[in-house]
Structure 1
Amino acid sequence: MSAKYSFVVPIYNEEQTIEELYRRLKAVIDRLDSAAEVIFVDDGSSDRSLLLLRHLRDRDRRICYLSFGRNFGHQIAVTAGLNFARGQVAIVLDADLQDPPELIPDLIAKWQQGYQVVYAQRRSRGQENWFKRCSAYLFYRLLRKLADVDIPSDTGDFCLLDRRCIDALDAMPERNRYIRGLRAWVGFQQTAIEFDRDPRFAGEVKYSFRKSFALALNGIVAFSSVPLRLSTYLGSIAAAIAIGMAILVIYWRIFYPDSPLTGFAIIMSCSFFLGAVQLICIGILGEYIGRIYEEVKGRPLYTLSEVAGFEANREKTTGDGTEN
């Protein structure tokens, strides 16, 4: 199949949304000006998601799917879909229908105007709680301040990527991937389309607070060295405070020998403070060293247990960008 458009959809326990997602995607694809393929990436689902993908493949030969050997995470699932995409452009969207498929023609229209990257920028976040909205708002703006590249605020993985951008992303070997940051890093002509994010169609939210925090931390560490400098600043501040406190203790000891400030409590407080600063700095260094460790191991990004619809390029089965 020679496809002009490739749709990349990560799937993790989405049996309740797959049929509705397919219905809405099919309505969009049927109106396109050229052939399309839909690449579902099953990220080690434990429900009936993979079975439903098999049925979709039997009904519609435009459906392709990959099934991971285990759960590798959303960002790796997107990466795998891009590795296998054969179209001139790839459109990445989530399976929970918070990214409306009806926006896809607008993304394509921008691409036809000459843009290589078209990302959907959230104008509102339907029915998300106040904590999620506030934390997301603060994170995106903090990341934009700290990052070495300009990563647009309020954008997720819902986007259109030109073939040149896809090839650039496929060539990146890093393991800890933050797709929206890598998308900004590759450059090219980029533009945004604003949209109101819909509530989840069905099922449970897959990005828990822990996963969201890990993704946010990964984005900051992957695109900024500011935390490393922050540890230096903290150490300098702690040293200055320690010197100041030592001078005060000597002063109190000489001029106010009976003052309680010269006793055990203030010494312990200073010790706890310096210990906390040291642990924070070690933690920051550990985040960077941990990522170096992951990179030097050189393991594949993912393993595949089942592939359908890619008969022309079945040699891509390891996720390391090499052919077997």
Structure 2
Amino acid sequence: MNISIVTTMYRSATYLPEFYTRIKKNISKLGLSHEIIMVNDGSPDDSLDVAIGIQQQDPCVKVIDLSKNFGHHKAILSGLSHTKGDLVFLLDCDLEEEPENLEIFYEEWLQGNNEYDVIFGVQQEREGTFYRKIAGDLFYKLFNLVSDQKIPKNPCTIRLMTRRYVRSLLEFKDQNVFLAAMYEKVGYKQKPLAIKKTYKGSSSYNLIKKLTLMMDGVTSFSSRPLLLIMGSGFFIAFLSLTYAFFLVFQKVFFQSVIGGWTSVMVSIWLMSGLIIFSVGVVGIYISKIFNETKNRPISVIRKIYEEGHGDYESVNNR
């Protein structure tokens, strides 16, 4: 099989028919043998019914129905784990990333003469509100500042990957999945490709989810926050010792001690805040270790709808 198309569904019922028509047309234009894998990530609308309707008309379509909403990144890995193609093309089905990009990515990969294992899309400029643009830029700057694993700015979901790259990616058994960093951690030769991504006016990633995603990514791929805590503790201890010597000097030579209830209270609140914050960061790392040691599957598959196999249940997902 030449290529596997993978997409995830969450509130996607209105987009699926057009997405399928356009991606199918593009595949036919390239003359590739293919499969189309649609992963239902616990969508609350009728995305699953629409996808099953498409699957019943096209034997090349496979629908994977997860038992609940596990999150975009875990749903992607669920779809990738069921691919069979020599190449894998991943994209969202909400039409923000145009299905016609398949031809562009495929031609770019052919021109590279097998030099690249990944062609991935990046936005030159983020669409949407001023807040969305600023929040997006700040997210990547902060992540790269505190993380050991650097990631490119404004990466998109859309990417074309070779079979060996996907196989290596699936060898990662992280419970706390942050794909932008995992993509880079896998290695191989990768090439960014600028694309235009439209903004449909809403996003499932609000501020809280973005901050949570950044926290998960940083704590999964970097120990730098722990080093910053240690450095802060050393710095505060040094300042405290210096101030203690200053007070002794004042007492011995000038018979006076600088007092002040306000300064004492400020110091207490500052130290208390730093201690609680440090304990919280350490607690996050401990919780990550706890989750990883459980070795639970990252998602659970309720049913797979596939030509020739009927509907069957499965929990076989990493």
Give the structure-2-normalised TM-score: 0.90
Counterpart of 1:94? 92
| Matched AA of 2:278 | C
Q: CA deviation at 1:145?
A: 4.3
Aligned to 2:263: 266
Q: For residue 135 of structure 2, what is the aligned residue in structure 1? A: 135
SS of 1:90's equivalent in the other structure is strand
Mapped to 1, the partners of 2:129 and 2:247 lie a distance apart of 49
TM-score (ref. length: structure 1):
0.88
Stretch deviating more after TM superposition (245-254 or 7-16) = 245-254
Q: Which residue of 2 aligns with 1:187?
A: 187
**Comparing 309-318 and 282-291, the one that deviates more:** 309-318
Aligned 8 A contact 1:156 1:180 in 2: no
Q: Secondary structure at the match of 2:215?
A: helix
1:115-159, Cα deviation, whole Å (9 max, x unpaired): 111110111222x22222122213223433444344222213221
Specify the alignment match of 1:5 in structure 2: 3
Provide the secondary structure at the position in 1 that maps to 2:120: strand
Find the counterpart in structure 1 of residue 47 from structure 2: 49
Q: Deviations over 1:292-316 (max 9, x none)?
A: 1111011111111121127579999
* Partner AA of 2:43 in structure 1: S
The match for 2:176 is: 176
Cα distance change on mapping 1:169 and 1:315 into 2, 3 Å: farther
Q: Quick check: 2:119–2:160 contact (8 Å CA) kept in 1? A: yes
Question: What percentage of residue pairs aligned between the two structures are identical?
Answer: 25
Which residue pairs with 1:110 in the alignment?
A: 108
**Change over 3 Å in CA distance of 1:120–1:13 after alignment to 2:** same
Tell whether the 8 Å contact from 2:303 to 2:312 is kept in structure 1 after alignment: no
Q: Distance in 2 between matches of 1:5 and 1:316?
A: 25
**Which amino acid is the alignment partner of residue 143 of structure 1?**
F
Listed as ranges, the gaps of 5+ residues in structure 2 are none
Residues 31-57 of structure 1 deviation map (CA, whole Å, 9 limit, x = unaligned):
122112111111111111111111111
2:12 to 8, 11, 14: 14
The equivalent residue for 1:122 is 123
Are the equivalent residues in 2 in contact too, given 1:151–1:181 (CA < 8 A)?
A: yes
Q: 1:164 to 1:313 in 2, by over 3 A?
A: farther
Query: 1:89, 1:161 within 8 Å by CA — same for their partners in 2?
Result: yes
**Contiguous gaps of at least 5 residues in structure 1:** none
1:315 and 1:14, CA in 2 relative to 1: closer, same or farther beyond 3 A?
closer
Give the Cα separation in 1 of the matches to 2:307 and 2:210: 32
Please state how far the C-alpha of 1:247 moved relative to its aligned partner: 4.5
Q: Distance in 2 between matches of 1:165 and 1:315?
A: 28
Q: Name the CA distance, whole Å, in 1 between partners of 2:25 and 2:255.
A: 83
The answer (yes or no) to whether the contact 1:41–1:66 under 8 Å persists in 2 is yes
* C-alpha distance after superposition, 1:143-199 (max 9, x if no partner): 334443442222132211110011111122111111221111111121011012211
The letter for the 2-side match of 1:105 is: E
Counterpart residue number, 1:212: 210
> Residues 6 and 89 of structure 1 are in contact (CA less than 8 Å); yes or no, is this contact kept in structure 2?
yes
Give 1:29 deviation, angstroms: 1.8
Q: Is the 8 A contact 2:9 2:41 kept in 1?
A: yes
* Counterpart residue identity of residue 56, structure 2: D
Partner SS for 2:30:
coil
Opposite residue 286 of structure 1, the aligned amino acid is: G
Conserved? CA contact 2:300–2:317, under 8 Å: no
CA separation of 1:167 and 1:227: change in aligned 2, threshold 3 A: same
- Quick one: which amino acid aligns to residue 292 of structure 1? I
Give the number of equivalent residue pairs. 314
Q: Specify which of 211, 220, 223 is matched with residue 222 of structure 1.
A: 220
Q: CA RMSD in A?
A: 2.4
